[in-house]
Each structure stands twice: as structure tokens, then as C-alpha cells.
Amino acid sequence: MIACVVVLAACTTNGGTEVPVLWLGTQPDGSLASGVLPVSVAVTQAGSGPLAVDLSGLERTGEAWHAAAWSAAAVGVLLTARLPEGVTVSMGVDESIDGPSGGAAMAVGVLAQLESVTLLPGTTVTGTVQPSGAIGPVGGIPEKVRAAAAHGISTVLIPAGQRVAGDPRTSSDVDTVALGLSLGVDVVEVSSLATALSLMSGGAVDWSTSAPLGMSASVTAFLSAETDRTLARLRQVALHPSPTLALDSERRRVQSGIDSASARVPVLTAAGDVATAYARATLAEREAAAWNAEAQAVAAARLDLEPAREKVVAQCGAVAESAAAALMAAASTETPRVEQAVALPDALTWAVDAEASATRARQDAAGSSSPLEIGMAAADAARAGYAVTRYLPTALGVLARTGNRATPPGIDTQLDGYTALLVQSGEAVTAALALAGPASGDEPALAGYLYGGWSLGSAPPLTGAAARSLAAAMAWYVSTATIAAEAEATSALPARLGTRRSITRPDLFATQVAVADEQLVHLGSGIVADGLDPSYLAWGGAWGRAAATAPDSTSAPDDLRIEGLQYQWYATIQAAALRAITRSQ
């Protein structure tokens, strides 16, 4: 391999890319230790088979590092819209190290290889990686900046929102930009891998975005009609009285959402923003259904706990069964156009997620010991039921009205390649998460934590049908990525039954939402340039963005906002696959 000009600086050679990774740890005596490690990244493509990440060069690293390597490889392939078939990503580091914060640096290395660009010497980035290409938060940034200065690195990119960070030396907050200036290091906040790659390559890669994606007239008319019907139903909704003072604020939240949607949806429709109008109307209706189910269950449980619990357990089971049946039926949808074939797995995630949510709600209800816990399970089951009866049919309706190009032969094999990519990445993340320490009491924060109906450490069951398998893999990948983001303090995991996730850093969460939107527009611009129909992508992305950015007037729960981000990730995955598959023809 040709030697890099600067030993611990990013560079690209004929044999691969070398990126410096900043690290922070402790010595055996408990004192701080920090430094810089050169990590080699090489990408080759030959033959067939699913994407492989060669970890033989990472034998001295831990599970969290392996997970970061897999995430970097998966996101790199998705962001560059490459088919994963035959791709091998090899990484190497000659030290014992662990942790997720090297993910962004490894991802930039993968992107540099895939885009065939040279990285500038003296630059690096620290941060975690998320499916849309957002750079997630990390700890110990001040000490990492000191390590960079000591090793001759002149530019350090850090996650947006972390300019002021806790200093492990002093346990106080530090302005990392000012610290960098005092040490001769330029510290720059970045929100995405796209920005990091541009800065670290001297602008060699331009991933600037253009206008938001548009929808065809037939899709617009379909969504307009669905929105009108939803709004008419919403205006007739009667909310159940609050069964307890503890739930009064929740009832007011739901009523506020109804009032806001009733006033705002017609304005959005008149302005031509039909996708957002549909999202706002249906989100309000879904929350109303969830409230009524919760209030009725709590009221019944306060009178007689055991029969109420048994009823909710049965209701959850029925929703799970209906979701499974709907999944099987929808999976047989004809997809004569390529946009439809790639969108179908995305549409099926409504049923996949509903079955998983109802399954978890059933388990929560069975283990509940209070009326409020029973009510929460009933609300979750109602939301899952709404996804099956409303969102899945709408997704299939949009899908039926989308498409310009005939489905190419052999597309199932290409979809299977994405299934393998997403499942393997998800498994690597769960292997790392399972090692997390306890949260409080006797319950672990992550080990054994049931998310979306699947236990950590076991991937979702896959079927022989390409669309159903990819839908399950997408749900698995997005679920594990969400938990990883929560573990990195973007939002807090529920430590035990009867709690909900909460977004602890709204600024960081807003950045993730914005990056997901930007990446979808970037990929969608290429799809439009290729003569393909972006209607389904536009609808899916708009629904996710509307949920994730629900206005304060609706007092939307954090769980809803997180779900919106997840559906933005689904749209990004779908866009990457569509562009890669059509470019390969």
C-alpha cells in the first residue's frame, strides 16, 4: 500500500482509504486516555452474493465497533444508491478499542471508496451513524479535540448541536470551537455524512438537494379524496370522558390535535400540500381512536381489573392476527412497474409494524398490574389497528397509481440483496446493544428489551417472498437503528412497563429529521432525472416528516415523532433501492 503523506490523517490510496478515528477511554488506574487511531477502509465489488463486511482486520475491537462498521457499510451503500450484491467492505485497525463513535469516520471512508474521491489530510469526524446519513451524538468531544491537536490534525468535524459539550477532565461544559482555536484545531459542526464527505474531500462530492419531490395528478386526487373522508369522520369524533384526573391532560392533547387538524388541513389542501394534509388528518384521527380505546379500558379496569385485562389481551391478539392476514394479502399485490415493485415492501411495513406493535401490546397487557398500564396497551393496539385499516390501504392505493417503467426481470433477487444487507446490519447492532448495562432496578435497559415484537438478538422471521422478507428486514433494521439512537441519548428508552419513550434532545432530533428529508430529496432528484415516478416516495416522506414535526399545537407525543422519523428512514431505503436497481439495468 502506498504510504499516506500524513501518518494520522485522512487519505486515499490505491489500496483503500485511511481515516483517523478519535477515541476516549480510561487507563487501568481510572485516569483518562485519548488518542487517534488510523482505520483502513477498502471496498471491492466482484462476483455475487450479499454485501459482506470483512471484520478480520478488527479482531481486537469490540461488538460496538463491529456494529459501527456494519452501520457504516450499510449506510454507505444506501446513500450512494449502489446494489449491495458482490460488495465487500474491509476495515482494519491495529489496536484494542470499542465504542460506536468511530462510525461516522468509517462511513466517510466507505463513501470515499464508493465515490472514488480522495480525502484531505489532517481532517477527521467523530459521531455515530443513522440510516438517513445523519451524524448522531457522541461523548467526550473536548478531550477528543485535544487528542486531535496532539496528533497534528487540523480539522475536526463534530455532530451538530454538540458545540458545547461536557469535558470529561473537568465535568463542566466547554465550547469546543473555542477550545479548538486555542489548540490550532478548526472544530466544525456537521449534521450529515454528506456534509462531512464534502468537507473532508475538499468539495469533490456535491450532494446538494433541490426542490421537494412532487406527486402525479392521480396520486394527488386520490390523497385529496382520502383526506376529505378522514376530515369528515374526524369532525364527527366524540372523545370518551377522562376516567381519571391523571389522564385529563392526555384527553386535552387529543382534542387539541383534532381542533388543529380541522383548522389546518383545509389550508394545507388549498395550498397543494396534499400529502401533509392527509398526514395531519389521519394522525389526529388515529390518536382519537387510541384515546377512546385507552379511556374505555382504564374505566373498565378501575371497576374490575382482571376481566378488563383479559379483554385487552384478546383485543391485542385480534389486531395482531388481522395485521398478519393483511400482510399476506397485500404481499400478493401486482407490481407491473418497477416503482411499485420497490415500493411494495415499504407499504407492507404498515402491516409488519402493526403486527409487531400489537404483539408487544398484548405482552404488556398480560403483564400489567394497573388500569393505566392496561389502558396504554389498549391505545397501542388501537394505533396498530388503524395502521391496518387505514394506512395500509392508502399505501396500496398510492402504489397502484405510481410508476412509469416496467418491472425488470430478476428484481426479486436484487430485493433479496437488500434484505440480507439490512438484516445483517441489524444483527450487528443488537449484538452490541445486548451488552448494555442495567437501567434501573432489576430490568436491563437493552438486553432482552422487546422492540416491535422482536427480542434483541433474534432477527425477524423471513419468508420466501421477496417483498415480505424485505418489509420485515426494513422494520428490523429501522427498529435496531432507533434503539441505537436512543442509547446515544437522542431519546430515552422506557426502562420498564408503563412508560413511553421521550426525546431528551429536541435539537438533535430535529437535525435527524431534516437530514432524512434532505437525503430523500437528494436520492429522489436522481430518480426524477432517470424518468421515474417519485409519487410514492413523496407521500411516504411527507407522512414521516409531518409526524416527526407535528406542531406544538397538537402536543404530539414523542412516540409519534419518533415513528415519523422511522418512516422517513423507510422512504430513504426505498429511494436508494429504486435508484440502484434502475441504474443497474
Cell triple for residue 487?
Answer: 442509547
In sequence order, which residues have a C-beta less than 8 Å from that of residue 552 and are 6 or more positions away? Answer: none
Helix, strand, coil fractions of the chain, as percent rounded to 5: 55, 15, 30
CA dihedral 268, 274, 278, 280 (to 10 degrees): -30
The Cα–Cα gap between 274 and 224 comes to: 6
In sequence order, which residues have a C-beta less than 8 Å from that of residue 350 and are 6 or more positions away? Answer: 387, 388, 391, 392, 395
- Can you tell me whether residue 543 is helix, strand or coil? helix
The pLDDT assigned to 97 comes to 66
Helix 217-234 and helix 535-548: axis angle, to 10°? 30
**pLDDT under 70: residue ranges of the chain:** 1-15, 60, 95-100, 209, 432-464, 484-501, 552-556
Question: How many CA atoms are closer than 13 Å to the CA of 286, on its beta-carbon side?
Answer: 22
* Cβ contact 343:331 at 8 Å: no
- Specify the DSSP class assigned to residue 387: I
Amino acid at 362: R
* Region at 410 (left for phi over 0; alpha for psi -120 to 50; beta for the rest): left
- Specify the DSSP class assigned to residue 492: E
Cell triple for residue 91?
Answer: 476495515
The pLDDT assigned to 485 comes to 65
Helix 558-583 and helix 63-79: axis angle, to 10°? 60
If one counts every other C-beta atom within 10 angstroms of the C-beta of residue 96, the result is 11
The pLDDT assigned to 122 comes to 94
At residue 152, what are phi and psi to the nearest 5 degrees? 80, 15
What number of H helices and E strands is found in the chain? 17, 18
In sequence order, which residues have a C-beta less than 8 Å from that of residue 328 and are 6 or more positions away? Answer: 468
Q: Which helix (H) or strand (E) holds 340?
A: helix 338-366
Query: Is this prediction's pTM over 0.75?
Result: yes
Cell triple for residue 118?
Answer: 480522495
The pLDDT assigned to 556 comes to 65
Of the chain, the end-to-end C-alpha distance in Å amounts to 34
At residue 344, what are phi and psi to the nearest 5 degrees? -55, -45
Picking from 131, 80, 71, 73, the residue whose alpha carbon sits closest to that of residue 523 is: 80
Cell triple for residue 39?
Answer: 482505520
In sequence order, which residues have a C-beta less than 8 Å from that of residue 419 and are 6 or more positions away? Answer: 462, 466, 469, 470, 472, 473
